[in-house]
Structure formats: C-alpha cells, structure tokens
Amino acid sequence: LALLPPPLPSASSPSPPSSPPFTPTWMRGKLDEVEKLSRRRCCVVDGGDVEVMMRSRRVERVGDGGEGREDESGRTDESTTSFSLLNPSIAVEMGLSPTSVLEVGREAWKREKTRQAETTIFSLSPLHVEGVKAGKVRVGLLSSDFRLHPVGVIMLPKVVEMVRQGLDAHCYCTAGSATFDDFTSEFRHHCARFYSVSPSTTSAKKAAEMINVAGVHVLIDLNGWSEGARWDVINMRPSPVIVSYLGFVGTTGSPSVDYALGDAVVFPPDYAQHMSEHIVYHPSVHVAHPHFFDMNAMKRDCTEHAEVAPSHRGGEKGREEVKVGSYNRLNKHSRRRIETIAHIATNTNAKMVMYRHPVDCLSSVNATVSHLNVSIEWERKAEREQHLARLRHLTVMIDADEYNGGCTTADALAAGVPVITTNGELPTSRMGSAYLLSAGMEAGISRDEEGVRERATGMVADRGKKREERAADVCATPLFDPSAWVQYLARLLRLLVDIEQQTGSNKYNVVGVK
C-alpha cells in the first residue's frame, strides 16, 4: 500500500512538489497523449485561484431548447450567473468552468444545511473497529438507483464481488418501493442487508442511526447531486468515512464528503484544486462494467446481417449497412457535435442514427442539420435486450462531447463498435477517454471536431475487422473486469479506514494503492 503524496504541509510552510498518483501498467505512456489533447492554458489570479482561460465554447445544448449566453470571445458569461439556486448537475450540463462548478456545489450544500434542522455526529463503537482490524470492512451504499438504471447495472456485479471478496456490503435505498424491479430483487439477494430509507418513510435522523448502528465504516454515496440524493442523511456524518462515486462525476462541493473515487484520467492530478473532496485514485479504471453479450450469438448475428442487409441509399446487396450516430440523450450533445455527426453521415454515405428520449425536443436538431443532405433515424427507448441488439448494427458511435456517455459507451465497446470521443475540462467530459484507454481503444480519442470527422471517416472505411473479434479483445480489458476492480477497491477502503483510525481525520490530498 502507498499513500500519495505525503501529508499536506501547513499553510506557512513551502509546498513541496507533489508526487503523481499511481498509474497502472496498461495506462503508462498513454496519459501524456491524453493530456496533450486536453491541455488548457491557465493563469493565476489574485487570491491564488486558478481561472481557466481556454474553456470549451459554450453552445446551446440540443433537446432542451435552452440558449447559451456567450461573451465576445465565445466563452460562457458566468458573471451574470447566479449560483445561489443552481443545481450542480445543471452547472455541469451548462459547461461552466471547474471553479464555477465547485462554487455551485458549495452553495447547494449551504442550502441543504439551512433546510436541515439538526445535525448529529456519530462514532463507531470499539467492537466495530476491531472488526476492521480483522480485515472485515463494512461498506454502505447509499443510492436511489438500485434498479434498472445505469448506476444499478454497473453496481450489481460489484456488490456480488464485494460479498465474495469479504466486504460486508449494506445497501440503503433512498427511493420508494414503487421503483423496485428485478434488479432491486437481485440487490436484495446478494448484499448483506438491504434497507429502504425513502424520505417518505424514514426521517434523516432514523436513516443515519440505521447506518451507524449497523457499523458502516465507509459510506459510498452513489447519487451526489442527482435526483434521489439524501444530503440530510450525509450531513449527519453517520459513518467515519464518506466517499462520493459514480452517480455524480465531479466535486459535490460538500465538506460532509471526504473523498471522491476515480482514476487519473477522470480526475487528473491538477484537477484537485477544483475539488472539495480528497481524491482516491483507483489504479484500474474509473468504472468497470459488466457486459451482456453472448459472443457466439454476436458472431451469428453479424454473419446473418452481412449476408442479407442491403447497404443504405441503394448500395449493393451483401454489403453491411453503414450507420453512424449516438445513443446518448440529446441534452448531452451540443449543436456542434450534432452537426459533426451529420457531416460524418453525409461524407460516408451513411445513415444517421440518434436516440430520442420522450421528453426531448427535436426542433434544435432539425435546425442544426437542415442545410445538410441527411436524414435521421430516430430510435426510441427500448427494453435492454432490444437496445443491445440494435447497438450491434451501429458502424461507429460518436460520444456526446461535454457530458460523455457511461453505460452507452461501454455497451458499444462490448459490442465491438468503435467509439470516438473528445477530451474536455470537467470530469464528465473525460469519462469517454477513461473508457477508451482502459479498453485499449485510445485511437478513438480526438483533439477536436475535425479530428472526430477524420477518425470516423477512417473507421467507416476500415471496418473489415470482424466485430466479434474486436469485442472479444475489448471485453478482456480492465473496463470489463468488475472482479479486479472490487479487489482494488477493497484495499482502498481498508486504507481509508486505517487513515481515519490513525489520524482521526483524513490528512492526505491524494490516496492510491499499487
């Protein structure tokens, strides 16, 4: 085990150069290139704050009808933005600067504290501390999404692995029973204990007492500022160590949260200045996904499709139909990215495929591509099996730009579909790069929109490699290895508990394991 770097110096002492976080072998040599793609010039202003000067241009997000205000340089005018009522999730979608997102989180936390009538600080009994010394760490997972939801899909195999590898996993569901489904039943079956702590049935004090009485050493919040979060419980500090992960990728701005869990791509070392939490670096990958593809079925499906499918726009029979697009929500895309996808479809004589959520507005998309000779095939929400089946027929998937896809990107990679993404400033715009790096598909990381077009055109032209072979290669990488991911997580959690017991507080800015 290794702590990186040493304890932070006092404010009066000079700051020694910080050590970089531990980088796994498969990632070495790749991070430098990724950083070149995302490097931004910074200048130091009064007070020691860092203002990013070359942020991505704020453009109107499609699907929500909102207009983005820009100054003459093309940057978002944040001087007129009120942070007092803004939700951090919206701030991320707006493309605000990292400094502004942190400020929005702090203001949101202050509002939650103002609404909260009482705060109680709990402490674990010596009995539970002895349990940690024996190697038994009790983990609490707090979420509203123990169901068929991206968080639920990702976390279910991890919970199974936690129990198998000796972690005592307790699930605390903040959603009502009306949302429960087959996934919920699986969580109930595999975790050590499953509790319902919905606000309608369980007060904050009672929920916090349940977590504390159960002896939870590390509480992992899987909501952050997404819908269903219970900040009234988190602010009571029912566990000695609280970690933010997955549901909200970025800083919460809350002093009630000790750590944010991620990897060196999503949270690069120089991003720590924009975090209210300390960073826990997972040495494998930010998220390890399950994959749901039967390779033999995929091979049969690809063979049949190649034999009978006519190509788009009157091509030859026997050629694979070319489809380029994205299954991300429209509100994750900018006009710029939609136009890029349309240009790719036009230049490669492909069909443009996009996903439409029932609440999405299409007027912005139609206006964006109206000057191009392209028709859009709109896909609706479907059952998971149907979605995976149609995903296999996509030739190239283009990731959303400033709010990358999660399960959508992983599913595409597992299906053998090439994915192209760009690297941005916020952690939400770096997830795609993390996925592609861990899957050995770093060729899909582009510098800008022109690079996206060039890469997509090349991938469409060079689609000869059998998809099932590409899928088999990708599924053997750390991105699809929840077992190894949990093995590292268990070591990290024990390390965090050790820090808490030895110091009484966490004094390390960055924590990692080798």
Tell me the C-alpha distance between 252 and 231, whole Å.
11
pTM above 0.95, yes or no: no
Instruction: State mean pLDDT over 449-478.
Output: 87
Residue 254 pLDDT greater than 50, yes or no: yes
Count CB atoms within 10 A of the CB of residue 475: 19
Instruction: State mean pLDDT over 316-329.
Output: 76
- Give the pLDDT score at 173: 98
Residue 492 pLDDT greater than 50, yes or no: yes
Lowest model confidence (mean pLDDT) among 26-40, 87-101, 358-372, 462-476: 26-40
Q: What backbone phi and psi angles, to 5 degrees, belong to 371? A: -85, 0
For β-strands 42-44 and 50-52, DSSP reports them as antiparallel
Q: What angle do CA 84, 85, 90 make, to 5 degrees?
A: 115
Name the DSSP letter for residue 317.
B
Return the CATH number of the domain spanning residue range 295-480: 3.40.50.2000
- Give the pLDDT score at 29: 52
Nearest to 237 by CA among 250, 252, 218, 223: 218
Provide the H-helix boundaries in 348-481.
363-369, 384-391, 407-414, 431-438, 449-461, 467-475
- Give the pLDDT score at 92: 86
pLDDT tens per residue, range 441-456: 999 999 899 999 999 9
Instruction: State mean pLDDT over 382-395.
Output: 86
Q: If residue 52 lies in a helix (H) or strand (E), which one and from where to where?
A: strand 50-52
For β-strands 2-3 and 241-244, DSSP reports them as unpaired
Bond prior to 358 in cis (omega within 30° of 0): no
Nearest to 394 by CA among 369, 420, 423: 420
Domain boundaries, the chain: 126-288+481-512, 295-480
Distances (CA, A) of 260 to 281, 318, 409, 496: 9, 50, 22, 12
pLDDT tens per residue, range 284-307: 889 999 876 554 544 444 444 444
Q: State the average pLDDT for the chain.
A: 78
Residue 27 pLDDT greater than 50, yes or no: no
pLDDT tens per residue, range 108-165: 998 888 887 666 666 666 556 666 666 689 999 999 999 999 999 999 999 999 999 9
**Domain 126-288+481-512 class?**
alpha beta
Chain-centroid distance, C-alpha 382: 22
Tell me the C-alpha distance between 229 and 374, whole Å.
41
- Give the pLDDT score at 181: 93
pLDDT tens per residue, range 40-71: 322 222 222 222 222 233 334 445 444 444 44
Tell me the C-alpha distance between 245 and 260, whole Å.
6
Instruction: State mean pLDDT over 209-235.
Output: 94
- Quick one: pLDDT band at residue 357, thresholds 50, 70, 90? confident
Number of residues in the chain: 514
pLDDT tens per residue, range 421-431: 999 899 999 99
